[in-house]
Structure 1
């Protein structure tokens, strides 16, 4: 009767392997256990095989097949999208496994996954000596990622700790080659770039399998004893830069205007030059045409030129020429130029018993008339030529 059949007392007084329990009972018989397991497996497949030495050949084959299936199924594994698998075969590096579903022979290959896309951060700080023998406190942050998983795992003992030491060495080398003013003010960007290049050079030389993505300077400050003096120096440098920018803005405002005026004067001078040259050339051409006429009739040509010149001159003057005859006759004339430029007169006063002639700007010379004689109605003087 089996230990789990009814009436067996629930198997409390027997071992699962068919033997009664007891404190002093020894380990189960391996041959019996193997025989029972083979019998059950043979029953599942519906046949019995001859036994050899207490075992069953079919049962052994089944066990081997089941074990191989379990071994094969347990070898499947998955690599993430951002990961790479480093395979060791019998403890020696074999190859890199890409992302996805993969299989490895258990007890032969060992796979270690490494994230190659995650950005890792490493912080560093310390007091460092500059080129001009000043001490500066620097705090920085290094961002990096794994570039080669095999080198990252097996080229150095601890790649992250090695990177920390390489960062400290590179930063001290770069800071020791710069003056303090550059570190605190204008040279921070150059120092950051040089530090990144130096760290990558060290990691490549030691085959760490790491790639430095960026280096950020959090703070760079002098010691507390001289901090106030350096703050004043930085403020003065900022004022200098501000004044320089203001001067450049003023220059950018004034120079275009000056250049515009200069170009305008140049164009005006060029226009005046062309006008003068063209006028002179026109006069020359006119005289060239006039010369044959003058040679043909000098007097007529001279008189015509004189009359044209006088007409041109008198048309632009306000002078009046009077050709008076001998005998001192008086002449009454109208100053037309003054009448044209005269402002409107104010209204005349009301009649007050005397008649006053309005002043039209006329000039009347005094004429002496003998008693008993009448004033001549018309002057014998001849008006001048205009």
Structure 2
């Protein structure tokens, strides 16, 4: 009988149906088996179980005990189901939920719930970049074997396609990478693979690989393709190194030749231009001088026609002044009072000087004038000599 049942003695019974013990009756700890039995009876009463007291033997019957255990099990199962059904999606993740094996929804970050076993969820990080490395021997366009190491960086762009369309999308990525790499290397010459053609190859491989993945609908996006230093097989590595060094020497010699040409050609062009300018200047000078002489002669002819005697005398005096000013002279004196003074001119030297000067192009006209002046001076000297002798 419970402590709160009618007719019960609340002073002598505790809440679990046992008699209270006085302080003097406590001789040891309570019986654990009895406490557990009483707890079980209370749970049975809570979940619809009952207990009867009666009969001649005073025994107890508990038909509702099995129902109480069943209810307890159901509570435990419900707690376990609720614990497994509630899940948290991080900021960098997404989850795909399938209901009865068919796509139901894509869940974003936050606290979510699904209903197993009719639902299944697949949760993946969709922002983290993943990497795949591939290395192998490839045959180039010019039938040479090279080893090409390759690294592919990718991420999941469509989780629904990643989960549902392809059984193993990352295996498909590896196979597509090998196909794209062999296609690009097979259409490229060996020197391009080993030297400056790697960036162009990486771009072409990325484009072709992404086209394969989009065709398969794998939900994967390729972010970067990196080709490390390609090399020849170990058996022929030394020969390949010699070829590379020879190519580098060729490029260096070509650069040196271009540098020398860039220094010499402009200088030669400058010298040629200067010579052309000098020739043009000399031509203009000669033409201008000739025109000036022609104009002077034309004007002189006109003046000569007006006054022949005066013009002839003037020409004679100008010529003698020019000859005497540019020629060394010897004055021979004799007699008293300077009556027999003689002016001596080295005509032979003057004529030879005029002839030698005629060979120079810049002084040709001056040499001819000097020669004519020398002859005129010689004639004048002979005339003066005859005049003196006649006296």
C-alpha separation in 1, matches of 2:303 and 2:41 = 163
SS at match of 2:34: coil
Pick aligned residue for 2:47 from 24, 28, 31 = 31
Note the C-alpha offset of 1:124.
Answer: 0.7
Map 1:227-246 onto structure 2 (within 5 A). 227-246=237-256
The question of whether the paired residues in 2 share the 8 Å contact of 1:139 and 1:219 is answered with yes
Gaps in structure 1 of 5+ consecutive residues: 22-26, 34-66, 323-330, 333-366, 368-375
The question of whether the paired residues in 1 share the 8 Å contact of 2:86 and 2:114 is answered with yes
SS at match of 1:144: strand
Q: Report what 1:174 is aligned to.
A: 184
Note the C-alpha offset of 1:247.
Answer: 0.9
Pick aligned residue for 1:320 from 309, 322, 329 = 329
Map 1:34-53 onto structure 2 (within 5 A). none
The question of whether the paired residues in 2 share the 8 Å contact of 1:134 and 1:180 is answered with yes
Pick aligned residue for 2:282 from 272, 276, 300 = 272
TM-score of the two chains, using structure 1 as the length reference: 0.59
Note the C-alpha offset of 1:125.
Answer: 0.7
SS at match of 1:220: coil
Q: Report what 2:366 is aligned to.
A: none
Note the C-alpha offset of 1:244.
Answer: 0.9
Distance 1:168 1:321, change over 3 A: same
Note the C-alpha offset of 1:254.
Answer: 1.3
Map 1:1-386 onto structure 2 (within 5 A). 1-3=14-16, 9=30, 13-15=34-36, 18-20=39-41, 28=44, 31-32=47-48, 79-80=90-91, 83=92, 85-88=94-97, 90=99, 91-92=102-103, 94=105, 97=108, 102=110, 104=112, 106-107=114-115, 112-116=123-127, 118-287=128-297, 289-315=299-325, 317-320=326-329, 331=332, 380-384=339-343
Q: Deviations over 1:169-201 (max 9, x none)?
A: 111112222333433345434433332332222
Q: Report what 1:362 is aligned to.
A: none
Note the C-alpha offset of 1:251.
Answer: 1.2
TM-score of the two chains, using structure 2 as the length reference: 0.59
Gaps in structure 2 of 5+ consecutive residues: 1-13, 22-29, 50-77, 346-391
C-alpha separation in 2, matches of 1:17 and 1:92 = 50
Distance 1:292 1:209, change over 3 A: farther
Distance 1:309 1:239, change over 3 A: same
- The count of corresponding residues between Structure 1 and Structure 2 is 288
SS at match of 1:221: coil
